[in-house]
Homo-oligomer: A and B are copies of this chain.
Amino acid sequence: MAGEKYIIEGDKKVGLTVRKSENFSEWFSQVVSETGAKLVDIRYGVQGSLVHRPWAIKIARELYSLIEEAVEDDGHEPHLFPTLIPEENLMKEKEHAGFTPEVFWIESAGDQKLNRRLALRPTGETQFYPMFSLWIRSYNDLPLKTYQSRITVFRNEMTTRPFLRGREFLFFETHDAFATHIQAMKQIETDKKIMEKIIRGKLKIPFYFFKRAKWDSFLGADCTYTADTINPDGRRNQISSTHDLGKHFAEAFNITYTDVEGKKKHVWQTCFGPGMWRIMAALIAIHGDDKGLILPTSVAPYNIVIIPITFAKNPEGTKNALRFSKQLQKKIKKWGHRSHFDDSEEHPGFKYNKWELQGVPYRIEIGPREAEQKKLTIVNRITREKRIISILELKKTLPKFYEEHDKMIEKKAEEYFANNTKTAFNYEELKKILSEHRGFVKAEWCDTTMKGKPCADKLKDETQGAYVCGERLGESEKPKGSCIVCGNIARHVVYIAKSI
């Protein structure tokens, strides 16, 4: 095996045995596992239903807080809808009813049969919109901007993978209603901005914001917009979707308002879902290295871990180091940093490895000498460069350290993203790139309405599953020639990739 060995400490096995660059898939499985960064335990015994461990929950709650704050700043109000959906509601919008093959059904409670089937929600549209028809009366009630957060949805997926595809997974969704389609489109631009501010800006995950082709739109939507990133194996990971729902659900659920002239009209609707577990997957996959996770400071549960260096032969110095560490932890917390003092029984070396695996940005080492000189050794997770600074400097220096750490993550991620976007000028070139490098391939395309579907089907068949991700929203990339598949006049510049 080319990778590093497990580190054994007592009966504990910790570490990764493969390099990320050599076997990404195995690296990902290891890094999320109990011997890795301890994010999930896959031994629960129901396929696609995992136990999420403290480190995953602590990262996820930082991520949820960032997204919740952003949508509330944009005027969305939090709700909590039931998990159960009556079958008749799920079926009301005809295209949306296409979800049913993935739906879990409840038909009994105790030993009694229910008088109707209830679905476990696969997504929230058919929960929110019957209520929208009660809540919306006049133009004064518009726009109506709602969301629900930290909920679980259920889909009976055939293949499952931690964070990437589960049968039950953590969800976030906004649901909005507007008087006009222009307002709806503005909301889609805002959803894009939220993704840019939080996911690219704070989590350092690069993505393209696509307008999907018609044949890839959400069941019941006029059009779907997605943020897509790229995994280290070159496969596309869709990390958000926003749907322009048009009036489909408004008509199915009778959501109307009275306009200023007293006329009854159907509302226009959008919904936005950053894929929380998909974003977690991207965070793990894109930033991590052979040593484990690398977390940006915005979502790291701890940005600093303090590790005392103790010496059995120097009890006095050890005592001082522990006391100094404790004082420092108090100070750092008081300054408003998420930090942890690791005074557990393990050896310092074991602790270094553990916190590197978990991706904590900085560790502070404090031994008897540091305690005596009121200095500390601070080590960055990525560079592992050691710097010695005095405690007096620390408060002022920490924000600079954070910035430096986040910049390194950003630079690496953006470079890798740019390097994984290529342009193909003919079909052979496209197939070659897709078979060799993967990533995104920019190409000219005939049509993104249903007319273009035969080309997409052909492409998929002949490339073992490459998809048209769509055109980029807000970028005026104009075609100059012909469709890369059929050779007819190209109306669009699209991006093509294989999916996870």
Q: Give the residue name and chain of the B residue nearest to A167 (CB).
A: B84
Within 8 A of B (CB), among A1-43: 10-11, 41, 43
Q: How far is the CB of A382 from chain B (nearest CB, A)?
A: 26
Whether a CB of chain B sits under 8 angstroms from the CB of A482 is no
Q: Mark A91-117, 1 if CB is under 8 A from B, else 0.
A: 000000000111111111111000000
User: Are the CB atoms of B105 and A49 closer together than 8 Å?
Assistant: no
Each complex incorporates copies of this chain amounting to 2
Contact of A106 among B10, B82, B104 (CB under 8 A): B104
User: Are the CB atoms of A104 and B109 closer together than 8 Å?
Assistant: yes
Contact of A154 among B49, B83, B100 (CB under 8 A): B83
Q: Give the residue name and chain of the B residue nearest to A170 (CB).
A: B80
Q: How far is the CB of A157 from chain B (nearest CB, A)?
A: 10
Point out the residues of chain B lying under 8 angstroms from A150, CB to CB: 150
Whether a CB of chain B sits under 8 angstroms from the CB of A45 is yes
Q: Give the residue name and chain of the B residue nearest to A61 (CB).
A: B78
Q: How far is the CB of A206 from chain B (nearest CB, A)?
A: 28
Whether a CB of chain B sits under 8 angstroms from the CB of A168 is yes
Whether a CB of chain B sits under 8 angstroms from the CB of A313 is no
Q: Give the residue name and chain of the B residue nearest to A109 (CB).
A: B156
Point out the residues of chain B lying under 8 angstroms from A168, CB to CB: 82-84
User: Are the CB atoms of B109 and A41 closer together than 8 Å?
Assistant: no
User: Are the CB atoms of B51 and A81 closer together than 8 Å?
Assistant: yes
Given A105-B109, A108-B107, A110-B100, A86-B46 contact (CB < 8 Å): yes
Q: Give the residue name and chain of the B residue nearest to A82 (CB).
A: B49
Q: Give Cα A364–Cα B263 distance, bound, in whole angstroms.
A: 38
User: Are the CB atoms of A131 and B51 closer together than 8 Å?
Assistant: yes
Within 8 A of B (CB), among A452-466: none
Given A103-B109, A109-B102, A54-B82 contact (CB < 8 Å): no
User: Are the CB atoms of A57 and B78 closer together than 8 Å?
Assistant: yes
Whether a CB of chain B sits under 8 angstroms from the CB of A197 is no
Contact of A86 among B45, B79, B82, B107 (CB under 8 A): B45
Point out the residues of chain B lying under 8 angstroms from A43, CB to CB: 131, 134
User: Are the CB atoms of B152 and A83 closer together than 8 Å?
Assistant: yes
Q: Give Cα A103–Cα B110 distance, bound, in whole angstroms.
A: 5
Point out the residues of chain B lying under 8 angstroms from A41, CB to CB: 131, 134
User: 13 A–B contact pairs at CB < 8 A?
Assistant: A11-B137, A41-B131, A46-B84, A49-B82, A61-B78, A83-B154, A84-B168, A104-B109, A104-B118, A107-B108, A150-B150, A151-B152, A152-B152
